[in-house]
Amino acid sequence: MAKEGKIINHFKTLVAQKAAREGRKISYRLAESETGLSHGSMVDWMNGRVTQYHEAQIITLCRWLNCKIGDLLEIEEVEGLPQGEQ
């Protein structure tokens, strides 16, 4: 079987950690205004539904969350279909 990868994003967890660190509630609207991301992009990040990872967004989010790319995104290895059945 071939190994395939799935990208997992930890954005929601990192936002919760940022909120706790800073002693404030961080809403979608606040996150949007502080990062400049659109509402649609923010909803996708919060709900783990991002399918295209844009460099500028990743840099912005990592700076805002004070984290590294590896903290924000992770590749989860999953077993794929046997070779030839893909």
Question: What six digits make up the tokens of 52?
Answer: 């295209």
Provide CATH code, domain 3-79: 1.10.260.40
Instruction: Tell me the whole-structure pTM to 2 decimals.
Output: 0.84
Using DSSP, state whether 39 is helix, strand or coil.
Answer: helix
Amino acid code (one letter) for 9: N
One digit per residue, the tens of pLDDT, for the chain of length 86 reads: 567 889 999 999 999 999 999 999 999 999 999 999 999 999 999 999 999 999 999 999 999 999 999 999 999 988 765 555 54
Residues in the chain: 86
Return the bridge partners of 79, or none.
Answer: 3
DSSP 9: E
Write down the pLDDT at residue 11: 97
